[in-house]
Chains A and B, each alone.
Chain A
């Protein structure tokens, strides 16, 4: 119950930054147009590149803009937690009768939920007005997409939590956060759908955790994953989510043993 309240509070907190949300929406929409046109140029030359048709490729581009801020592609860590670790405020958090990882997970899911509503719907709607998108008619597919996007948000948190915890050892984890953000940008499919990557790089990239952030949810939405492939995709995301959360828990217990609180 506590964690639901944390998530709801986080949702409300992000909902108050209205000008920032509007500015973000304009940016997402502008980038959506640019990427959509470059994909069109690419798919005009190779109509079945990566197994997608032009409409599916366009939908992929707009889904990427819709999910960008939901799964925090290009952002390295949990900035606030990193700052709290560096300043020592984390000692207060550890003293609370709540689990550190679950607390931040709840807060992050609240944020993701707001971003999905605040910054996800409009780009897809604008994209659908301007281009022939391959959006599903079946409400069930939309449901699977939402589940897949939620799993993507958990995997994203799992990765960023590890980066943030590294501040216990590195003090300044911004360098690592940058490297993590870059990997995320490249291996999530944001730069180019992973299926379009050449040869073995395409196969490898689809096994890495970053594929859970955008590639799998987008494939679910555009109908490139149905039946068994759909379930395998969701299982892939869930497995990475559990593995990363478990690893985070391990690192967390090692880190908390390291913390020495100076009284005064």
Chain B
């Protein structure tokens, strides 16, 4: 199987590249959902409010931090992607796995912590919330599962790939 063992430096680089592919994807997924949330639910549908009177102080801080972080994450992750391509270390399937995991993770956090616990805002107003909440959070969970399956598969492939090279 291992005819020529790769140098320690190369293995380190591959592990680093593998983690970076994942992180770049996760950050992009997170930023993408935050952007989607802002553009579709706040701006187009007006389902979410700019400011909800039930928001607590900690909710406001959390919202501001997440807003700033997701903005940074979207842009930074794409530059990371460009950097991986430049180094010829890009593994698109692993990157997409990260995107789904990041997107689902953010949506679940938004749905459970920000909507329910901190009560920043609700998905809609003056309607029965239950179906909306269920769809929102189940979709988030499905995205997380899809992402994790893809990441696990590319993890196996990468191990085989590394022992082959």
Chains A and B belong together in one complex: no
